[in-house]
Amino acid sequence: MKKIDKEKKYYQEIAERFFYWTGKGPFLSPKDMTLVDYWRKKNIPLNIVLEAIDEAFENFKPQSLRKEVKTLYFCNKKVLRAYKRYLERKVGLKKGKEISKDEKMENALKEINSFLDNLPQELKFLRPVYERGLKLIKNNKEEELEELDNEVESLILKNYADKGELNEENNDIYKKKLIKEFRRKYKIPYLSLFYY
């Protein structure tokens, strides 16, 4: 992916996530664009920003019905805290060292193989997807891995979502929480090299 495409994706995905939660859109304010640019220049990974935005809204309890979130700055503290935790987890890496694509592939292969070796019975339905993912990583087909991550999430929902919950208005929030909880509980790794 070209650098311009990555930057565009960074802005777009953050805006889409913010608008999903606020119901606003379709454009970020200049102030919010400045904040996103700040995060990008600090090299805060997209997945860290998106998870922090989700966390900020999942924990948001307005004091009154009139209280609503108008700006992305509402999420800034959560994003910076999440980034700090992310950096603390990476303490073992040499300062300033970029992780090469080969290292990312090696890390992904290690984590996915470990997951498959210890795959609980109730998650056997994920094995074929992760085996396809291993082949794609070995054959350097990075673009297709993100689609497999989406397939993993669809399978989790198909096998474990409470059908009654899926029919409610908070459908997307319920899905995101369920997927996040499953990934955490069973240590389900991502397939996309972006996460390594």
Residue 191 near residue 116, CB atoms below 8 Å: no
In a domain, 26, yes or no: yes
3-class state of residue 23 by DSSP: coil
Burial of 32 (0-12, 13-18, 19+ CB in 10 A): buried
Same domain, 15 and 76: yes
Same domain, 187 and 106: yes
Q: Which of 89, 117, 143 is the last residue of a domain?
A: 89
- How far is the C-alpha of 42 from the C-alpha of 106, rounded, in Å? 26
Q: What is the 8-class DSSP label of residue 26?
A: S
Same domain, 69 and 148: no
List Cα–Cα distances, 34 to 53, 84, 101, 142, in angstroms: 16, 20, 30, 30
In a domain, 94, yes or no: no
Residue 22 near residue 170, CB atoms below 8 Å: no
Q: What is the pLDDT along the chain (196 residues), one digit of tens a residue?
A: 566 677 788 888 998 888 888 877 778 888 999 999 999 999 999 989 998 998 888 877 766 444 677 788 888 999 998 888 888 776 655 555 567 778 888 888 998 999 999 998 989 999 999 999 999 988 887 778 878 888 998 898 888 766 554 555 456 667 777 788 888 888 888 888 777 7
Beta carbons within 10 angstroms of residue 21's beta carbon = 19
Helix axes 3-22, 46-58, angle to 10 degrees: 0
What pTM was computed for the model? 0.51
Q: Which residues, 6 or more positions from 123, have their beta carbon under 8 angstroms from its beta carbon?
A: 186, 188
What range defines the domain where residue 62 resides? 3-89
Q: What is the 8-class DSSP label of residue 44?
A: -
Same domain, 83 and 168: no
Considering its fold, how many domains does the chain have in total? 2
